Amino acid sequence: MSADVADADAMRRAIELAARGLFTTDPNPRVGCVIVRDGRIVGEGWHRRAGEPHAEVLALGAAGAAARGATAVVTLEPCCHTGRTPPCADALIAAGVARVVCASQDPNPRVAGGGIARLRAAGVEVVVGTGAREARVLNPGFFARFERGRPHVRLKLAASLDARTAFADRRRAWITGEAAREDVQTWRARSAAVLTGAGTVRSDDPRLDVRLAYGDRVRQPLRVVLDPQASCAPTARVFAGGGALVFVAPEALAAAHAAHAGSPGVRVEALPRAAGGVDLEAALARLAALEVNELWVECGPRLAGSWLERGLVDELIVYYAPRLLGADAPPLAVLPAADDSAGAHFEFIDARFFGRDLRVILTARREESACSPGS
């Protein structure tokens, strides 16, 4: 077996391991590592959560003395800085590995090639690029945060076959079935934050929390509400239990602080105004500063239209129920008339059934890049 084929096989295993941290590693990336010696995996590990050992350290620990002279295959460049844990590049050097294969350079400027340089300076052979696309798919938000200064944005919509998102009389009722709603829980669970608008809070009073357990505990995402006029009642369920952030317009900041003064764990911040509400780009920049990698958006048609019109949606996830709601029902998104060059184009990447409902996933294809981020 050639080295390239062996590296690719080992990287696939490392990616499988990295995926085990899908719901737990934020704000760190999901990373897996295997130690290979004489064509056999002698140690493997994956990063579980921030502050705990990184994948390389766990894999080296499992390999023990067999790591000397072996190849370490890791889904992201080994770190070279001391954060909550020591540098992984140093651990690999100390263990005596002869070769490191990593999928890509770390976009974090605290690493950004430094780990690779440190390994090479110590005489370790380093190969970069094996399985790069597949490994990147696991961490779209981590790359987006450092490369674009904002989280990876997923917009979720639930609609009828005629692209309507609620009943015409606006009564509160589910459009999709239980299986589709359980799938939404998995997307919320992998997201660092879940965002909605004031209109949805007032009309639906959602919790926007995670109610399914993954592993040994449930990590609740930050719940974010865009409430320009501070119109949401502090007793709304989205604010229960803390862990919420309210973005308001500057002129509503004092009123919002007063309204939420007795709400523990609820933060209020002002954002610049924009047409129809607050500046969405500013919201994304602030969330990136809070180390939000992946943002899950569930909102009404007007706010959904704003995200789409601004070209800020990286993935569009739509659940279609096999029913018709009629022309008087609210639409999928409120958008202005647009020519073919406006906003973002999308391409289908997945379609599958959840119960009787069909879920489709699309990624954005913007003209300037002609490519889309992974999901």
Residues 7 and 118 in one domain: yes
Task: Return left, alpha or beta for 228; rule: phi > 0 is left, psi -120 to 50 is alpha, else beta.
Answer: alpha
Q: What is the DSSP string of 47-107?
A: --STTSPPHHHHHHHHHGGGGTT-EEEESSPPP-S-SSS--HHHHHHHHT-SEEEESS---
Query: pLDDT band for position 371 (50/70/90)?
Result: very low
Pick from 88, 116, 138: which residue ends a domain? 138
Report pLDDT for 368. Answer: 45
Residues 162 and 281 in one domain: yes
Report pLDDT for 73. Answer: 96
Please, which residues have CB within 8 angstroms of residue 316's CB and are 6 or more apart in sequence? 154, 155, 157, 308, 346, 361, 362, 363, 364
Residue 88, domain extent? 3-138
Say if residue 57's pLDDT is above 90.
yes
Supply the mean pLDDT for the chain. Answer: 90
Residue 315 lies in a domain: yes
Strand arrangement of the beta sheet that strand 125-128 belongs to? 40-46, 32-37, 71-74, 99-102, 125-128
Among residues 16, 44, 52, 56, the one annotated as catalytic is 56
Pick from 119, 138, 157: which residue ends a domain? 138
Report pLDDT for 373. Answer: 37
Number of helical H runs and strand E runs in the chain? 11, 16
Report pLDDT for 338. Answer: 63
Report pLDDT for 61. Answer: 95
Q: What is the CATH number of the domain that holds 163?
A: 3.40.430.10
Residues 114 and 172 in one domain: no
H or E element at residue 183 = helix 178-190
Residues 125 and 221 in one domain: no
Residues 242 and 256 in one domain: yes
Residues 164 and 218 in one domain: yes
Phi, psi of 3 (to 5 degrees): -60, -40
Q: Check if 56 is active-site.
A: yes
Q: Which of 56-70, 78-92, 262-276 has the lowest mean pLDDT?
A: 78-92
Say if residue 156's pLDDT is above 90.
yes
Say if residue 158's pLDDT is above 90.
yes
pLDDT tens digits along 326-363: 888 888 888 887 655 555 689 999 999 999 999 999 99
pTM of the model: 0.90
Query: pLDDT band for position 218 (50/70/90)?
Result: low
